[in-house]
């Protein structure tokens, strides 16, 4: 199972939202590059970066940060936020993203996302499905996409979809544990798709449970910033699995 720390960006700084609410923003670090270096130093291989400014603006806004992180580390960077057209996708790839997370565009323009899956390859394209009250939310979690996550995955299987990040928004930033039934059911229903759990990780016990339940990747955000999970904890876990 891959452990993937998260860096959410507003104005080039590391922040966290609570339940996807931009009004509940807390700044944790002014230097995302230094944060990324610390993750790399403890053995982390993949980093999850979300451009929250870009998600609202419908175009990437923090690509300079992406360039700096990609230059300073050898991390496999998955990038999301503001990828609404091919130019935006290319700009993120050119800035150093190894993988691109597409959420809103997959709902709003399914043929374009299907084209990207085929053109750029399923190993590079990740479906981002952020769920609120059973439905996928889009545009920085501000709109109801009107479709459930299972329907969305089914739609892109013929195009080779092999990666999905699913966030239960009600759990995100709450530090009360993930919605495990959601992720285990998704992974069991779609065995050819690598499901990444996102939202609610509060302790190493949650990570252990995800591993035991066969989840293939876990995103960890606020639990690290709040000291519930330390870099030493991550390092020990990576050495022991």
Active-site amino acid positions: 8, 130
Nearest Cα to Cα of residue 41 among 231, 241, 239: 231
User: What end-to-end distance do the CA atoms of the chain give, in Å?
Assistant: 9
Nearest Cα to Cα of residue 25 among 177, 195, 140: 140
b/e 89-125 (16+ beta carbons within 10 angstroms → b): bebbbebbbebbbbbbbbbeeeebbbebbeebebebb
Question: β-pairing, 2-10 with 13-18?
Answer: antiparallel
């Amino acid at each position: 199972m891959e452990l993937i720390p998260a860096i959410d960006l507003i104005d080039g700084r590391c922040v966290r939202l609570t339940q996807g609410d931009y009004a509940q923003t807390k700044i944790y670090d002014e230097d995302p590059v230094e944060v990324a270096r610390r993750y790399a130093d403890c053995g982390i291989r993949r980093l999850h970066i979300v451009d929250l400014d870009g998600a609202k603006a419908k175009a990437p806004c923090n690509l300079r940060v992406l360039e700096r992180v990609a230059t300073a580390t050898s991390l496999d960077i998955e990038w999301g936020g503001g990828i609404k057209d091919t130019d935006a996708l290319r700009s993120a790839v050119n800035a150093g993203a190894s993988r691109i997370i597409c959420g809103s565009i997959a709902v709003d323009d399914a043929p374009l996302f299907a084209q990207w899956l085929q053109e750029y390859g399923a190993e590079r394209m990740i479906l981002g499905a952020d769920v609120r009250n059973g439905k996928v939310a889009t545009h920085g979690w501000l709109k109801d996409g009107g479709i459930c996550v299972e329907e969305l995955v089914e739609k892109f299987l013929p195009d080779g979809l092999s990666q999905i990040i699913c966030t239960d928004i009600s759990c995100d930033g709450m530090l009360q544990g993930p919605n495990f039934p959601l992720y285990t059911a998704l992974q069991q229903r779609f065995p050819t798709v690598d499901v990444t759990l996102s939202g609610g990780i509060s302790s190493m016990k949650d990570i252990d449970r995800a591993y035991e339940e066969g989840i293939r990747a876990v995103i960890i955000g606020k639990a690290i910033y709040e000291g519930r999970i330390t870099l030493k904890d991550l390092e020990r876990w990576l050495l022991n699995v």
